[in-house]
Chain A
Amino acid sequence: MRAVVCSAALWLALAPPVAAQSTEAEVEKYRKMIAEDNPGELWEIKGEKLFMQKRGSKNVSLEQCDFGMGPGVLKGAYARLPRYFADADRVMDMEARLLHCMKTLQGFDHKAALKTKFGNLNRESDLEALATYIAAQSNQMPIDVRLEHAKEKEAYKIGETIFYRRMSKMDFACASCHADQGKRIRLQDLYNATNKTEIDRVMSGWPAYRVSNSTVRTMQHRLFDCGWQMRLPNVEYGSDWTVALHTFLSVSANGAKIGVPGMRR
């Protein structure tokens, strides 16, 4: 009896790694299948329409928005973000800049602009569609975030500090989940931000179509969602906190070829 119990325990100890590996392979197969026809491309098309549409109290389109390479220049702009903008005197990522243009160029009220920032089954998000379109204009280009202005260097340092700092009720840092190889939450594999291959793969794919949410999600949503999972106080859309973290992560992924919309579970 005792011998049987021992060998059963041994078998159980050996089984899990094999099961996990085949699950990973299956998820990868599923990802490849879906990636060939990414529903996120529909958001890109919707985003282009919204971009050209006259909206807001000033009834103008976003075509004159300056994403860092001059008003109206979209090609390659996303690859260089986040960056410092003199007219706002702060570092902004693509979404913070989009919000800025919606308010200053188009005359949107802050609250109104963020009303549908994150879409769900019951309502679509303009911001998600716009973000997908803007980011797609940098497809095939390498991430190229430069730290030239003093505030850009500062944002990087702050972002790095945030990444490693344990915070809030659960005492989690981003690093608690994302600074080690092969970590996993339930069945979700966690990428390792300190591994260049992995951070390149992850950062080059935002915005991404999130299958479980049936919509495209952006970096701002990702940071908001992580914040929620870590039980942090409310993460504000386009805030300095999110931009600093985004700067740190993007710089870590410099050189990665952008391919959006990506795909997430």
Chain B
Amino acid sequence: MADPMKMRATLKGDTAEVRVLMSHPMETGQRKGPDGKVVPVHFIQNVEVKLNGKTVIEGQTSQAVSRNPVFSFRLKGAKAGDKIEVSWLDNKGDKNRTEIAIA
């Protein structure tokens, strides 16, 4: 999926405050579309965060999370130049990822 993902990381001492803005419809499967039919479930199931290639966060999310979710977390022991990669996988098998280096 080419839909954009935006990540921001600010370093405070040895902790990086990271925020990721993800673009995803996050359909619960309970909403009816304009044709009157139920819009099928479509949501991010897995989110993975890697610091310099090593997985540090692995999360399972459900359709309870809203559309265009914002995921924010703190990484202790981060330094300037460290590479953070955030990737997700949804229930349809679509993936997306983004990577930044801490300024």
Contact = CB atoms under 8 A, between A and B. Distances in A.
B4 A46 contact: yes
Interface string A30-42: 0000001101011
Contacts of A53: none
B100 interface: no
B19 A36 contact: yes
Nearest to A211: B66
Contacts of B67: 121, 214
Interface of A (DSSP majority class): loop
Interface of B (DSSP majority class): loop
Contacts of A41: 6, 21
Interface string B64-95: 00011010100000000000000000000000
A122 interface: yes
A182 to B, nearest CB: 32
B13 interface: no
Contact of A42 (B21, B31, B34): B21
Interface in B50-70: 67-68, 70
A37 B70 contact: yes
14 contacts: A36-B19, A37-B8, A37-B21, A37-B72, A39-B70, A42-B6, A42-B21, A42-B23, A45-B6, A46-B3, A121-B67, A122-B39, A214-B67, A214-B68
9 closest Cβ pairs, A-B complex: A45-B4, A39-B68, A37-B70, A42-B23, A37-B19, A122-B34, A214-B67, A37-B21, A42-B4
